[in-house]
Amino acid sequence: MSALCRYLLFGLVTWTLFVGVPGAGWAEYFRQRESDLDQGLFRIDETRYLGVKLDTDVALIDQTGKALKLGDFVDKPLILVFSYYQCDGSCSAVNGEVIALLEKVIKTMRAGEDYRVLTLSFDKADTQETMAKFIAKLAMPPELKAGWTFARLADPERIKEVTEKVGFRFFWATQDKIFYHPNVAMVLTADGRVSRYMYLLVNSPLDMQVALMEARQGEIKPHEVINYAISLCYSYNYKEGRYTYNIPLFVGLGSFLFGIGMLLVSVFYYKIRRKPR
């Protein structure tokens, strides 16, 4: 065996002994690690929490430092968004998505007049300074600013009480140094009850508009009659987390129109038969 072959063989044996089989080692290194995260934590059991009423006496502090209560926001439908102001970006994206959806319904429903929006922190470490920095990152049109409030709880010890009552679960990941939480907005009725959960990755402006009109509980203004009629064509799909065509309504309406048509044909045919020849 030549000297070159002996050197190559010696190197291969040494690599195998101290490093291991090359292919297996690198494959293990690049293998995608399985997440220990239970994705079920981020799904809210809507059938359990829909209709739950929030405590209106919960004390808040808004972005201006003013003391408020949760009850100050439920004289009309409310979009409630749980966030934390030191978030790495996902909370800004969630609030930005709510802005994008509401921009499409500004012409028919006005923020501050027809509904309110409240972004509420669930992080005990949030302050007025972190809140101000968070708000500065959002590109919000003037039409929405009038009806949108950012706040934190005056008593941080009540955070879990408020979030768990509506099924919103979150936890702190020590290794990643971030909160894991659902990306969801909640629509509340004028008396503070949860009316709908809006999963922002799948919902459209129409979904938001229909949810707000449902939260009005039948209080429809004259200029909203057409939109309300259109909203009746949709029903909430729990499996998909969004509004889909109300198939039973279309089937019932079709059967009704078919019955009316057959009745008219029968009457017309009867009159023709009764005419003298």
Per-residue model confidence (pLDDT) at position 266: 65
DSSP alpha helices (H): ranges in 157-204? 159-165
Q: How far apart are CA 91 and CA 131, in angstroms?
A: 12
271 or 135: which carries more pLDDT confidence?
135
Judge whether 95 and 132 are in contact, CB under 8 Å. Answer: no
What stretch of H or E contains 236?
strand 234-237
49 or 8: which carries more pLDDT confidence?
49
Is residue 224 over pLDDT 50? no
261 or 96: which carries more pLDDT confidence?
96
Judge whether 85 and 125 are in contact, CB under 8 Å. Answer: no
Is residue 256 over pLDDT 70? no
Is residue 12 over pLDDT 90? no
pTM: 0.68
Q: How far apart are CA 226 and CA 213, in angstroms?
A: 12
Q: How confident is the model at residue 2 (pLDDT cuts 50, 70, 90)?
A: low
116-121: strand order across its sheet? 67-69, 59-62, 148-153, 116-121, 78-83, 184-188, 194-199
Is residue 25 over pLDDT 80? no
| Token pair listed for 209 | 């508009």
Is residue 24 over pLDDT 50? no
DSSP state, residue 86: T
Per-residue model confidence (pLDDT) at position 223: 41
Q: How far apart are CA 106 and CA 99, in angstroms?
A: 10
Q: What residues contact 59, with CB distance under 8 A and at least 6 apart? A: 67, 68, 69, 153, 154, 155
Is residue 277 over pLDDT 60? no
Q: How far apart are CA 179 and CA 181, in angstroms?
A: 6
Per-residue pLDDT, averaged over 239-260, amounts to 52
What stretch of H or E contains 148?
strand 148-153
Per-residue model confidence (pLDDT) at position 217: 65
